Amino acid sequence: MTSCEVINPATEEVLRTVEFVDVEGVDDAVARAASAQRTWARLAPADRAAALRSFAAVVDAHIDELAALEVANSGHPIGNAEWEAGHVRDVLQYYAAAPERLSGKQIPVAGGLDVTFNEPLGVVGVITPWNFPMTIAAWGFAPALAAGNAVVLKPAEWTPLTSVRLGELAVEAGLPEGLLSVLPGRGSVVGERFVTHPAVRKVVFTGSTATGTRVMAGAAAQVKRVTLELGGKSANIVFDDCDLEKAAATAPYGVFDNAGQDCCARSRILVQRNVYDRFMELLEPAVKGVVVGDPASRDTEMGPLVSKAHWEKVSSFVPDDAPVAFRGEAPAGRGYWFAPTVLTAQRADRAFTEEIFGPVVTVLPFDDEADAIAIANDTAYGLSGSIWTDNLSRALRVSRAVEAGNLSVNSHSSVRYTTPFGGFKQSGLGRELGPDAPLSFTETKNVFIAVAESIGENS
């Protein structure tokens, strides 16, 4: 058993020391989960639904506590952290309806009755990144539990506190002991054990494309199911016929939300050449107006980066000779602060091609619709993106042509728990959220029941 110090990124103070689980600890938790799952799956659907609703109610009663923990552990602004805790409640509430709606099908066949059942997989391993610890955990555990599975959850090393608390709240809400186990630990220990343990039947992984590739390769050895939510380098495409003031005013929030530590960050702004100069004039005050500071303050729009190591990685994209167009403000002194930064990088530059995962955006002009689509798709990623135009036909044409899983027209929204979320290409595999998510935690079983021929006309 090892331990890890959890640091407040706004102050660099040690918040707590968290014990890390080892391989034996994972194996114990998986055994308990397998036993709890058998009991859970046998419960009446209405009872599983009620248990999930009571979990949602307990989360609702702890929104302030969960939000305060996320402010301290992740540096999320308080308003965002409250939204995230409320989102966990809503996701649980939404999937609480699923146990009574996983109805399977009755398929017409000759000679009998054919029905399908949506059988739970068993134990599901959920591995989360550090950028949105609570919400991403809930996207995995809520539909998995609703479909009759048990869950072992490994939070990221830097940000385990809200996940650990959610595990405690599940027990407080009356979920069977061991049904949802939160196991803080190293990716190379706990995460890898989820991949190699034969009783873990599916791994839901959210994180970098490099680690996701490794998880998928490891899972192949057991033909283990995977859902992968990976990196992004999304485009925000601004056409000359859009509301340019609104596009410029909102662009910073499409990329700097959560200090740019967002897989959906629109980190490549593509602007039609004939409005490029005007767009940059409008963008500058918008970027300088982003309020960066104490995450506990209600006025704050952007907090610090999550850790010193991540601060160094983001800084490497802005060397002294970087093509900086302009920057916003950030506090000096202790804390991993990084000012919102706008670069006029070229197409081949590292800042334009790699996921930075910080408050750094690149802006590039384009000539016409075909050019915009070609630049937007010139990446291995395909998670998200925005299209700004007042021409409906163009909006639809470009939406269909951009290779990404989540697009928004004249807005930067990506995530609603009622709609599917996930990536094209190397941004992932499978979809989370939306009405079908519980099905991705089931196997379809087909059962044919032969019906005997009638033995007499009136019998």
Residue 133 binds to ligand NAD (criterion: CB under 6 A): no
Least Å from the CB of residue 433 to ligand NAD: 10
3 state DSSP class of 5: strand
The catalytic residue among 70, 229, 301, 432 is 229
Least Å from the CB of residue 216 to ligand NAD: 10
Using CB atoms within 10 A of its CB, is residue 399 exposed (0-12), middle (13-18) or buried (19+)?
Answer: middle
- Distances from the Cα of 266 to the Cαs of 244, 253, 275, 282, in angstroms? 16, 9, 19, 17
229 is catalytic: yes
CA nearest neighbour of 92 among 62, 72, 118:
62
For residue 237, what is the enclosing H or E element? strand 235-238
Site string for ligand NAD, 209-248 (x = CB under 6 A): --x--xx-------------xxxx----------------
Among 80, 93, 128, 163, binds ligand NAD (CB under 6 A): 128
Nearest-angstrom CA–CA distance, 318 and 35: 51
Q: How many CB atoms lie under 10 A from the CB of residue 106?
A: 10
Rank residues 211 and 300 by Cβ distance to ligand NAD and give the closer one.
Answer: 211
Nearest-angstrom CA–CA distance, 176 and 174: 6
Rank residues 248 and 305 by Cβ distance to ligand NAD and give the closer one.
Answer: 305
3 state DSSP class of 130: coil
Nearest-angstrom CA–CA distance, 200 and 29: 11
Among 93, 206, 227, 414, binds ligand NAD (CB under 6 A): 206
Q: What are phi and psi of 448, to 5 degrees?
A: -105, 130
Nearest-angstrom CA–CA distance, 143 and 289: 39
Least Å from the CB of residue 39 to ligand NAD: 28
Residue 382 binds to ligand NAD (criterion: CB under 6 A): no
Among 74, 93, 131, 227, binds ligand NAD (CB under 6 A): 131
Residue 252 · residue 265 · CB < 8 Å: no
Among 208, 315, 377, 410, binds ligand NAD (CB under 6 A): 208
Residue 188 binds to ligand NAD (criterion: CB under 6 A): yes
Bridging pattern class, strands 106-107 and 112-120: antiparallel
Stretch that binds ligand NAD, among 20-28, 90-98, 187-195, 321-329 (CB under 6 A): 187-195
Residues 62-101 contacting ligand NAD, CB under 6 A: none
Q: What are phi and psi of 380, to 5 degrees?
A: -75, -15
For residue 143, what is the enclosing H or E element? helix 133-146
Rank residues 208 and 399 by Cβ distance to ligand NAD and give the closer one.
Answer: 208
Length of the chain as a residue count: 459
Least Å from the CB of residue 391 to ligand NAD: 30
Nearest-angstrom CA–CA distance, 19 and 251: 40
Rank residues 205 and 279 by Cβ distance to ligand NAD and give the closer one.
Answer: 205
Among 70, 82, 84, 192, binds ligand NAD (CB under 6 A): 192
105 Cβ neighbours under 8 A, 6+ residues apart? 115, 116
Stretch that binds ligand NAD, among 23-31, 96-104, 123-131, 439-447 (CB under 6 A): 123-131
Least Å from the CB of residue 366 to ligand NAD: 24
Residue 270 · residue 352 · CB < 8 Å: no
Site string for ligand NAD, 251-290 (x = CB under 6 A): ------------x---------------------------
Stretch that binds ligand NAD, among 1-9, 203-211, 281-289, 433-441 (CB under 6 A): 203-211
- Distances from the Cα of 194 to the Cαs of 14, 135, 203, 289, in angstroms? 29, 20, 7, 44
Site string for ligand NAD, 415-444 (x = CB under 6 A): --------x---xx----------------
Rank residues 313 and 397 by Cβ distance to ligand NAD and give the closer one.
Answer: 313
Rank residues 366 and 417 by Cβ distance to ligand NAD and give the closer one.
Answer: 417
3 state DSSP class of 213: helix
Catalytic residues: 229
- What residues make contact with ligand NAD under the rule CB under 6 A? 127-131, 136, 154, 156-157, 187-188, 191-192, 195, 206-208, 211, 214-215, 229-232, 263, 355, 357, 383, 423, 427-428
